[in-house]
Structure 1
Amino acid sequence: MFKNYFKTAWRSIIRNKAFSLINITGLSIGIAASLLLFIVVQYEMSYDRFQPNYDRIYRVVTQDKFDKDITYNSGVPVAALKALRTDLPNIQFGALKSIYGSQVTVPSAGNATGNKFILKSGIFFIEPEIFNIFHYDWLVGGADALKDPNNIVLDERTATTYFGNWQQAMGKTMVLDNAITLKVSGILKNVPANTDLPLSVLVSYETLKQYGSAYNHADNWNTTSSNFNVFALLSPAAKAADIDKALLQFSKRHYDVMQTNSVKRNFLQPLGTIHFDRRFETLGDHVTSKTTLLTLSLIGLFIILMACVNFINLSTALSVNRSREVGIRKVLGSNRSQLFAQIMSETAVIVCLSVILAMGIAWIVLPYIKHIASIKEPLTLFTPKTMGMMLAMGLVVILLAGLYPSFVLSKFNPITALKNKMVSASVRGVSLRRGLVVMQFTISQVLIIATAVAVSQMNFISKADLGVNKEGVLVLSSNGDSLIQSKQMAFKQQLLQVPGVQSVSFNSDAPSSDNTWSSNFAYNHQPDEKFQVTLKFADADYIKTFGVHLIAGQAAAECDTSREAMVNETLLKKLGIKNANDAIGKEIRMGRNKWLPIVGVMQDFKTNSLREEIKPLMITSNKSFQFLTAIKLRTHQLPHTREAIQKIWAQFYPDYAFAPSFFDEDIAKFYQQEEQLSLLYKIFAGLAIFISCLGLYGLVSFMAVQKTKEVGIRKVLGASVASLLKLFSKEFTILIIISFFIAVPVAWYMMHTWLNNFVYRISLSGWFFIVAITGSILIAWITVGYKAIRASLANPVKALRSE
């Protein structure tokens, strides 16, 4: 029986080649697109889930609540670690401190100064106790390798990069920042890329303790750094809510409100939320919004639904041509269940062919998807989860696409069917088909609007006025040690001799960055304010190099220590000062440091990304924090200028790697995920429109066949091509307009929610919606018009003989 079902199914597919091709193409593209989106979403959701104690691991984080502000920090004061272990002895704690941009030097026989590597992914001073909380596999050694000072552990990939292979790395020495000699005492297996703890270079925590205040604040409860993270492993019986209550009492005991003018408290952040919570920094390379993943999941669902809609529409439309076959089968004794099984088997054959083709498409496209999404490691198509998803998707598509056509065909009246009096209008489902077409174009228009909004927002960001000059500023980073700082002025003078260099500034931070360095502060000898101020440290040429505008006063003078200060407009607004000149000469103090006179007021510039409001800002000079060299370049002959700068760097700092970046490129990294989402919208909106057009083309093709005689009569009676085109397109135009009115509120809500991620954003004007409806109608007319014009131009004599 089943053999007969599938043989008949194959004959039916061959007999209706065009419609079968449309169905298979639409389903295969829909399944492939949904599968690729599933792989991306599943990858993002898998972060750190390989940890055996995933559900019991937490990070201890900090909230600062001011009267006018609430800030969050992923770290805790260094002093809190010992107190946590004392106050909560039943919990296992482990700490690590991360630093970025450091340099390691690996001795080399062929290189007198050794091979230098900049650790952009971070170096971690780590306690052995971390390995009681997290599980990692070791090739050589174990957690004990990090007990003693001046020991370093590398992962297999990093050890191979530094020493040729990991076996040769054991026992060798490395130098951190030209100051700390470290011995390789262990090798970790490569850490999976889907982790927010990319532990590739680990230094024993005891090493950190040896270098005192330069790296540590062991007794300071008032300094909280996002680079100092404490993780906790709860026992199976412990409840996070109970621990949070205990941490609230812990916070009340240890934090002095008078010192910070805020209510500070610690609480637990589950490991499973670290990758998705934008309030806190992650030790990995990016944070992904769950809203983004939900959006991608919905797009995948919509596309597969659209492909199923095409199948249902074409199958029910074609059912007219199969009415006599159904009638004969019923007369010969076939019951409804047998006919139902027959139609479902045809659906299964088409879906199976589509799944095989979809797998091929996904396999070809998959290597490119990782460049669109924030995925660093190669993605694998043939995994148990993916295959399970593929099987489930195939079964669901068979049911979605096959149930209704099978129900319609199996219900035909055999007498009416044998007389071949079944016509399209009499087949149940005409109104359903219209509803499904409306659903298709609703989804298409939602995606068109979403794409237009996302692209416009990203164009707005790329062209937004940051309040500073971001073009042509080369940024060099160093670790700020005394050797580099002692040569800074001579280095600066040499740079200014290069024809392509306009100005040079030493500073702690670019104007717009992901810097979260802030402090409590006081103004004009008043008590501490109810909000924090963001801090940057820079020399006198910072204003000129980055094009910062002063609206009052002058730039702070050059000084090795903090002696004068500049503030921005936002700080004055929050202080209630309307006239910038009124602030000149007043004094400001950060933390419990000395009072500094305000000598300049800066016009507001974007201190962070455009997702955030401009923060109250204070800039002062302090040479010990000026780790960056910013060089303003003339736009012509950039490669030649860069080469000259590199030679001067090598002349002054031969022991330090040359690691330049451009300010505008660093800013672009803020919005990498939004750019990727915008690109995904473009791709999948295009696929949705293509699938819609496939279905529309199939339905119009069927209509053309059904109306062959009508078209012939109309032409004989003098109907023009335009009137015949109207005959075919009128109904679909009405359906598209209906779908537009459904799509508008959905798209508005979705994109309004997305735009809320940005403080500075475009407005949702009516043009986005006009473009969507105009584009949809034009696309539909082109699709319908091609087939309709062909039918209209056919010989009417042949049409009248076509009964």
Structure 2
Amino acid sequence: MLKNYFKTAWRSIVRNKAFSLINIIGLSIGIAASLLLFIVVQYELSYDTFQPNYNRIYRVATQDKFDKDITYNSGIPVPALKALRAEFPQIQFGALQSAYGSQVTVPADKNETGNKFIEETGVFFIEPQLFDVFKYQWLTGSPASLKDPNNVVLDEKTATKYFGTWQQAIGKTVVLDNAITLKVNGILKNTPANSDLPLSVIISYVTLEKCGQSYNHFDTWNTTSSNFNIMALLPPAVKMDDVDRGLLQFSKNHYQPLQSNSIKTNFLQPLSTFHFDRRFASFGDHVTSKSTLLTLSLIGIFIILMACVNFINLATALSVNRSKEVGIRKVLGSNRSQLFGQIMSETAVIVGISILAALGITWAVLPYIKHIASIQEQLSLFTIQNLIMVVSIGIIVTLLAGLYPSLVLSKYNPITALKNKMVTAGVSGVSLRRGLVIMQFTISQVLIIATTVAISQMNFISKAELGFNKEGVLILNGKSDSISLSKQSAFKQQLLQIPGVQSVSFNNDPPSSDNLWSTNFAYNHQPDEKFQISLKFTDADYLKTFGLQLLTGRSPVESDTMREVMINETLVKKLGIKNPNEVIGKVIRIGRNQWYPVVGVVKDFKTSSLREDIKPTLITTRKTFYYCTGIKIRTQQLANTQLAIQKVWNQFYPEYAYSSQFFDENIERFYQQEEQLSLLYKIFAGLAIFISCLGLYGLVSFMAVQKTKEVGIRKVLGASIISLLQLFSKEFTILIIVSFFISVPVAWYMMHSWLNNFVYRIPLSSWFFITAIVSSIAIAWITVGYKAIKAAIANPVKALRSE
């Protein structure tokens, strides 16, 4: 029986080649798109789940609550580690300190400077106890390898990069930032790429005692750095809420005596949220919001639903032509269950072919997934999870696409069926097919609106007034140790001799970045203000190099230490001062330092991404914090100037690796995920439109066959081609208009929520929605028009004779 089902199913598919091809193309594209999105979402949700104690690992985070502001920090004051172990003995704690942009030098026999590597991520000072919290595989060595100072553990990949093989690395030495000589005495197996704690260079934590301040490691309750983290492993019987209550009292005991201008509280952040919570700094390569993953999941569901809608529409349309077949089968003794099985088997065959085609499409596209998602590693298609997903999709699609047509055909009355008087079923007086067309175009229009809004927002970001000049500024990264500081002046003068260099500025940070160095402060001999300020340490050429505008006063004079300060407009406004000139000559104290005069006010510039408000900012001088060199270059001489800059760098700092990037490229990284989401909208809006057009084309083709006689009669009676086009397109135009009114509130809510991620954003103009309806109608008319014109210009004599 089963063999007969599939044999008959294949014959039916071959007999209706055009409709079968439309179904297979639509389903294969829909399944491939859904499978790709499933792989992306599954990968993002898999971050850190390889840890055996995934659900019991937490980070002790910090919240600072001011009168009108709340800030979050993934770090905690350094002395808290000892206090936590004393007050929460039942919990296992492990500390780590990150060291971003560190240089690791591998000494060579005949080369004084050796091979130099800049490690942007993965360099940590780590306690052995951290490996009681997190579990990693050791190729050689153990957590005890990190008990002594000046010991380092490398992961397999980094050890191979430094020494050729990881086996050769054991016992060798490396030098960190030209200051700390470290002995390799352990090798870790490579950390999985889907980790928010990628370990590559792991230095013993006790080494920090010699060089803590060089890595912003200050043993004081007054300083909280996101670089210093404390991880916790809770016992199975201990609940997070109970520990949070204990941390509330812990915070009161340790922070209140400091008489801070904020209420500082520690709390637990679950490991399961590390990858999704934008409030906190991440050690991994990116953070993904749960709302983005939900959006991708919904798009995948919508795409496959649209493919199923095409199948149902065409199957129910073709059911009229199959009514005689059904009638004959019933007369010959077929019962309803046999007919149901026959139609479902046809669906299963089409779905099976579509799945094979979809797997081929997915396999071909998967290597390029990194262009539309923040995934750099090579993903595998043939995994257990993916195969389960494919089988599940096959079953669900077979049921969704085949169930209704099977029920419709199997319940036909044989007498009526043999008379060929069957019509497709309706629901509450409205054709199911029309309802499904409305559903298709609702999804298409939602994606069209989302795409136009996303593109417009990203265009707005790229052209937004940032308050500084981001073009043609090269950023060099380096350490502000005593060696480099002594050469800064001569290095700057040599750079200015290069014809393509306009200006040079030493600083700790460009005007706009993800770095946030903030502190409490007081103004004009008053008590501390109830909000924090951001700090930027720069030389006198900072404004000139980055194109910042001075509103009043002047820049602080060149100085090795803090002597004068300059503030931005936002800080002036938050102090309740209307005229910027009023602050000139007043004094500001940061932290518990001395008072410094305000000598200038700079026009507001975007201190971070456009998702956030401009931070109240103080700019001052302090040579020991000049980690960064900004070089303004004439863009006409870009390549030659870069080579000349590198040559000067190697001349002055041969012991440091040359590391540079353009400022505008750094800013673009702020919006990498939004750009990727915009690209996804474009791709899947295109796929949705294509699938909708396939369905429309199939339905119009069926209508053309059904209306052959009607079209012939109308032409004989003098109907024009235009009127015949209206005959075919009128119904679909009405359905598209109905779908528009459904899609508008859905798209408005979705994109309004997305735009709320940005403080600076475009308004949701009516033009976005008008574009969607106009483009949908135009696409539908083009799709319908080809087949309709072909039917309209056919010879009416042949049409009447064929009937």
Structure 1 and Structure 2 fold alike (TM over 0.5)? yes
After superposition, what is the alpha-carbon deviation per residue over 1:30-50, rounded to whole angstroms, capped at 9, x for unaligned? Answer: 000000000000000000000
Whole-angstrom CA distance in 1 between matches of 2:45 and 2:633: 43
- Superposed CA RMSD in Å reads 1.2
Residue matched to 2:400: 400
* Structure 1 residue 112, shift from structure 2 partner: 3.6
After superposition, what is the alpha-carbon deviation per residue over 1:517-551, rounded to whole angstroms, capped at 9, x for unaligned? Answer: 10000000000000000001000000100011111
Residue matched to 1:658: 658
- The letter for the 2-side match of 1:285 is D
Whole-angstrom CA distance in 2 between matches of 1:724 and 1:450: 35
**Which range moved further: 769-778 or 100-109?**
100-109
* Structure 1 residue 99, shift from structure 2 partner: 1.2
Residue matched to 1:32: 32
Residue matched to 1:54: 54
- CA 1:672–1:502 in 2, change beyond 3 Å: closer, same or farther? same
Preserved CA contact (<8 Å) 1:408 1:428: no
Preserved CA contact (<8 Å) 2:320 2:423: yes
Residue matched to 1:672: 672
Residue matched to 2:201: 201
* Structure 1 residue 214, shift from structure 2 partner: 3.5
Residue matched to 2:705: 705
Preserved CA contact (<8 Å) 2:565 2:618: yes
* Structure 1 residue 796, shift from structure 2 partner: 1.1
2:549 counterpart of 1:552: no
* Structure 1 residue 257, shift from structure 2 partner: 5.7
After superposition, what is the alpha-carbon deviation per residue over 1:273-293, rounded to whole angstroms, capped at 9, x for unaligned? Answer: 011111111111111000000
Preserved CA contact (<8 Å) 2:217 2:228: no
- The letter for the 1-side match of 2:29 is I
* 1:330-729 matches, cutoff 5 A: 330-423=330-423, 431-729=431-729
* Structure 1 residue 425, shift from structure 2 partner: 8.3
- CA 1:197–1:672 in 2, change beyond 3 Å: closer, same or farther? same
Residue matched to 1:11: 11
Residue matched to 2:305: 305
Residue matched to 1:274: 274
Whole-angstrom CA distance in 1 between matches of 2:77 and 2:373: 35
Preserved CA contact (<8 Å) 2:425 2:431: no
* Structure 1 residue 211, shift from structure 2 partner: 2.3
Preserved CA contact (<8 Å) 1:715 1:796: yes
Residue matched to 2:315: 315
Preserved CA contact (<8 Å) 1:257 1:263: no
* 1:758-773 matches, cutoff 5 A: 758-773=758-773
Preserved CA contact (<8 Å) 2:408 2:425: no
Residue matched to 1:74: 74
Whole-angstrom CA distance in 2 between matches of 1:464 and 1:611: 12
- The letter for the 1-side match of 2:356 is I
Residue matched to 1:283: 283
Whole-angstrom CA distance in 1 between matches of 2:427 and 2:624: 82
Preserved CA contact (<8 Å) 2:545 2:631: yes
Residue matched to 1:155: 155
Preserved CA contact (<8 Å) 1:257 1:264: no
- CA 1:628–1:217 in 2, change beyond 3 Å: closer, same or farther? closer
After superposition, what is the alpha-carbon deviation per residue over 1:179-233, rounded to whole angstroms, capped at 9, x for unaligned? Answer: 1001111111110010100111110101111225444655400100000000000
* Structure 1 residue 298, shift from structure 2 partner: 0.2
- CA 1:562–1:733 in 2, change beyond 3 Å: closer, same or farther? same
Residue matched to 2:105: 105
Whole-angstrom CA distance in 1 between matches of 2:787 and 2:540: 71
2:776 counterpart of 1:797: no
Whole-angstrom CA distance in 2 between matches of 1:129 and 1:381: 37
Whole-angstrom CA distance in 2 between matches of 1:274 and 1:680: 24
**Which range moved further: 121-130 or 690-699?**
121-130
TM score, norm. by length of structure 2 = 0.99
* Structure 1 residue 427, shift from structure 2 partner: 11
- CA 1:717–1:111 in 2, change beyond 3 Å: closer, same or farther? farther
Whole-angstrom CA distance in 2 between matches of 1:643 and 1:365: 38
* Structure 1 residue 423, shift from structure 2 partner: 4.6
- CA 1:219–1:422 in 2, change beyond 3 Å: closer, same or farther? closer
Whole-angstrom CA distance in 2 between matches of 1:668 and 1:100: 20
Whole-angstrom CA distance in 1 between matches of 2:409 and 2:141: 69
Give identity over the alignment, percent: 76
- The letter for the 1-side match of 2:449 is I
- CA 1:643–1:320 in 2, change beyond 3 Å: closer, same or farther? same
- The letter for the 2-side match of 1:520 is N
Whole-angstrom CA distance in 2 between matches of 1:186 and 1:768: 58
Which portions of structure 1, spanning 4 or more consecutive aligned residues, are displaced by more than 3 angstroms? 109-112, 212-219, 256-259, 423-430
Secondary structure of the corresponding residue to residue 232 of structure 2: strand
Unpaired segments ≥5 residues, structure 1: none
After superposition, what is the alpha-carbon deviation per residue over 1:339-389, rounded to whole angstroms, capped at 9, x for unaligned? Answer: 111101111111111111111110100111123200121111111111111
Whole-angstrom CA distance in 2 between matches of 1:113 and 1:556: 37
TM score, norm. by length of structure 1 = 0.99
Unpaired segments ≥5 residues, structure 2: none
Whole-angstrom CA distance in 1 between matches of 2:34 and 2:714: 44
* Structure 1 residue 21, shift from structure 2 partner: 0.2
- The letter for the 2-side match of 1:234 is L
After superposition, what is the alpha-carbon deviation per residue over 1:148-175, rounded to whole angstroms, capped at 9, x for unaligned? Answer: 1111111111111111111111111100
Whole-angstrom CA distance in 2 between matches of 1:362 and 1:501: 48
* Structure 1 residue 421, shift from structure 2 partner: 2.4
- The letter for the 1-side match of 2:598 is I
* Structure 1 residue 445, shift from structure 2 partner: 0.2
Residue matched to 1:251: 251
**Which range moved further: 718-727 or 438-447?**
718-727
- CA 1:775–1:200 in 2, change beyond 3 Å: closer, same or farther? same
Whole-angstrom CA distance in 1 between matches of 2:676 and 2:39: 15
Preserved CA contact (<8 Å) 2:122 2:197: no
Secondary structure of the corresponding residue to residue 124 of structure 1: strand
Whole-angstrom CA distance in 2 between matches of 1:390 and 1:137: 32
* Structure 1 residue 73, shift from structure 2 partner: 0.2
Whole-angstrom CA distance in 1 between matches of 2:79 and 2:26: 61
* 1:129-278 matches, cutoff 5 A: 129-215=129-215, 217=217, 219-256=219-256, 258-278=258-278
Whole-angstrom CA distance in 1 between matches of 2:85 and 2:484: 39
After superposition, what is the alpha-carbon deviation per residue over 1:611-670, rounded to whole angstroms, capped at 9, x for unaligned? Answer: 000010000000010110100111111000011111110110011111011000000000
Whole-angstrom CA distance in 2 between matches of 1:465 and 1:40: 34
**Which range moved further: 105-114 or 181-190?**
105-114
- The letter for the 2-side match of 1:451 is T
After superposition, what is the alpha-carbon deviation per residue over 1:767-793, rounded to whole angstroms, capped at 9, x for unaligned? Answer: 100110000000000000000001111
Secondary structure of the corresponding residue to residue 260 of structure 1: coil
After superposition, what is the alpha-carbon deviation per residue over 1:85-117, rounded to whole angstroms, capped at 9, x for unaligned? Answer: 001111000000001111011122454420100
* Structure 1 residue 559, shift from structure 2 partner: 0.3
